[in-house]
Structure 1
Amino acid sequence: MTIDTAKMPAAGRMGYRFNLVGMLALAVILLWGFVAVFAHLLIPYPVGEIVDVDYFGPMSTQFWLGSDYLGRDMFSRIVMGARYTVGISVAAVAIACTTGVVLGMIAAVSGGWTDTLLSRFLDAMSSIPSKLFGLVVVAAVGSSIPVLIFTLSVIYIPGAYRFARALAVNINAMDFITVARTRGENVFYIIRSEILPNILGPVLADLGLRFVFIVLLLSGLSFLGLGVQPPYADWGALVRENIGGLPFGAPAVMFPSIAIASLTISVNLLIDNLPYKIRDRSVQ
């Protein structure tokens, strides 16, 4: 038996299709990532300091995005809020997708009782409504950044598991997996070198979608008062704090909403316009 290496997709042999919409979306995502990392250097005023004599102040040269319901600078609060919204969401989606994908590949390759027990347990977890689970956990334990990250990651582990398992089951049935088993390769090698490279593209796309879901769920919890607690605030908490300015069209309530929309829409556009292409592996 000979293996035609020209027809085998080596790990990392993936194609990318760039277009203008995808590049613009990527630019917005990188911008918010930069803001989240260097927020403490970008804010002109301390986030908790009252700097405006007026509340719900308009945009001006002194206060670029106006002031909030207490007279605090909204630009500073939105920039610092990016650190919490982006940081918590990235940590939660990394834990959720890493755990779910690893468990999904193990279940697909091992089969038998391992697959059955993992699938039934995670199916039971996924039957619990995500927002209800988040509300119960945060209300019972208390809201803190570690609790938020843990809660959000647990909510989305079952979905990442089901997605990765479905992909891995299809790959596990292919001939080159049989060849690897015949060579005597262990489960760890098959998962790392055979399964993962062939499902990486769809998994990364799924990661982006789950990041959007986590941002929206985190913002929803914060809007209900169960997210990041004062004096700090993420974007959802900023909307809740300044909801009283909605009848006045205050910038303090509009710009946090625009920030949430710009991040989530950009991630969706990036996924739609930068698809990963993984060629089929064939063995001759």
Structure 2
Amino acid sequence: MLLFGTRIPLSALFGATVMVLFILLAIFGPWITPYAPDATVGKTWTGPSTEFWLGTDNIGRDILSRIIAGAQTTIGIALVTTVLSFTLGVSAGIFASVGGPVLDNLLSRVVDMFLSVPVLIMALIVLTALGSSIPTLILTIALLDSTRVFLVARAVAVDIAARDFIDVARLRGEKMPWIMFHEILPNAMPPLISEFGLRFCFNFLYVASLSFLGLGVQPPQADWGGMVRENGQAIAFGILAPIWPALAIALVTVAVNLVVDWLLSRNVKPSGASAEL
């Protein structure tokens, strides 16, 4: 299929369609849920029916309503977290590339220190100590994830900073902020956009994993990871209640990866305010 002159493979088109569907659910969820997400409206763990399309959960709440409400929570938190982590990581990475060897080594060693501990374990420690409020969850994951973004941004920016048009900008007397955000950042956008999709996918899974472990989004607020945990025992009885939120997590993860794979496969040349002279 052609879109704006670019041929999009069916896999990427499928991924984009799924992403748009869940984004629409997140935006319009409060107006289209059949029942209130926190209301007990039926018996425990009933199967799919005309009244409850996906059945009910462990305390009789409508699963479809909670999945729609959970899209806003899970996807929204992951998106805000990724935007924040990219703002921090990209700014620090580009700053390190043009700030000189002392600053570069200092920031790199700080990042290495955080990278020595797995993100999920560090998040568990911080959330256990500070509590599991949504602002704390967002800040914790964003700060930890920004270290990964820093490595990518720095690697891309170091290559761009060595090009001739950066020297020209310095000879013109441009200050460091201008060079960072008007010369380097526009030319670093293609790989960073692809990395944004990957980091969103990882953060989305982190949020779901922490909720599954009881340290993410807290009940009664709907969250897909928490829904899997709340209904996990239903599997022993052959009940599908935990399958639906798990399927939603899998669909979003696969959809984002399909789109990111397509973006990574495209041969996009650097463009922006500056071009090679």
1:214 aligned partner, one-letter code: N
Quick check: 1:282 aligned with 2:253? no
Q: What residue number does 2:239 align with?
A: 250
Structure 1 pair 267–238 and aligned structure 2 pair: CA distance change class (3 A): same
8 Å contact kept, 1:201–1:277: no
Counterparts of residues 214-233 of structure 1 (less than 5 Å): 214-233=203-222
Of 85, 88, 91, 2:74 maps to: 85
Q: What residue number does 2:46 align with?
A: 57
Structure 1 pair 121–17 and aligned structure 2 pair: CA distance change class (3 A): farther
The root-mean-square deviation of aligned C-alpha atoms, in Å, is 1.4
8 Å contact kept, 1:18–1:274: no
Q: CA offset at residue 223 of structure 1?
A: 0.9
8 Å contact kept, 1:17–1:274: no
Q: Distance in 2 between matches of 1:98 and 1:24?
A: 29
Structure 1 pair 17–173 and aligned structure 2 pair: CA distance change class (3 A): farther
Q: CA offset at residue 19 of structure 1?
A: 2.2
Quick check: 1:192 aligned with 2:181? yes
Q: Distance in 2 between matches of 1:255 and 1:177?
A: 51
Q: CA offset at residue 131 of structure 1?
A: 1.2
Q: RCO (CA 8 Å, sep 6+): is it higher in 1 or 2?
A: 1
Q: Distance in 1 between matches of 2:148 and 2:47?
A: 43
Q: What residue number does 1:96 align with?
A: 85
Q: What residue number does 2:161 align with?
A: 172
Q: Distance in 1 between matches of 2:189 and 2:150?
A: 14
8 Å contact kept, 2:67–2:224: yes
Of 200, 206, 213, 1:211 maps to: 200
8 Å contact kept, 2:194–2:263: no
Q: What residue number does 1:264 align with?
A: 253
Q: CA offset at residue 248 of structure 1?
A: 2.8
Q: Could you list the per-position Cα deviations for residues 46-83 of structure 1 after superposition, in whole angstroms to 9, with x for gaps in the alignment?
A: 11211113x21111111011111111100011111111
Q: What residue number does 2:224 align with?
A: 235
Q: Distance in 1 between matches of 2:189 and 2:7?
A: 16
2:60 aligned partner, one-letter code: G
Quick check: 1:37 aligned with 2:27? yes
Quick check: 1:155 aligned with 2:144? yes
Q: What residue number does 2:12 align with?
A: 22
Q: CA offset at residue 17 of structure 1?
A: 4.8
Structure 1 pair 151–17 and aligned structure 2 pair: CA distance change class (3 A): farther
Which structure 2 segments of 5+ residues have no match? none
Q: CA offset at residue 120 of structure 1?
A: 1.1
Q: What residue number does 2:114 align with?
A: 125
8 Å contact kept, 2:22–2:71: yes
1:28 aligned partner, one-letter code: V
The secondary structure found in structure 2 opposite 1:230 is coil
Structure 2 length-normalised TM: 0.93
Q: CA offset at residue 151 of structure 1?
A: 0.9
Q: Distance in 2 between matches of 1:24 and 1:37?
A: 20
8 Å contact kept, 1:198–1:278: no
Aligned length: 268
Q: Distance in 2 between matches of 1:17 and 1:104?
A: 33
Q: Distance in 2 between matches of 1:60 and 1:86?
A: 27
Q: Distance in 2 between matches of 1:278 and 1:272?
A: 13
Q: Could you list the per-position Cα deviations for residues 8-29 of structure 1 after superposition, in whole angstroms to 9, with x for gaps in the alignment?
A: xxxxxxx955222212211111
Q: Could you list the per-position Cα deviations for residues 211-244 of structure 1 after superposition, in whole angstroms to 9, with x for gaps in the alignment?
A: 1111111111111111111111310000000001
Q: CA offset at residue 119 of structure 1?
A: 1.2
Q: CA offset at residue 200 of structure 1?
A: 0.3
2:276 aligned partner, one-letter code: S
Greater shift, 253-262 or 177-186, is seen at 177-186
Moved over 3 A (4+): 274-278
8 Å contact kept, 2:80–2:138: yes
Q: Could you list the per-position Cα deviations for residues 108-151 of structure 1 after superposition, in whole angstroms to 9, with x for gaps in the alignment?
A: 01123221211111111121221111111111111111011011
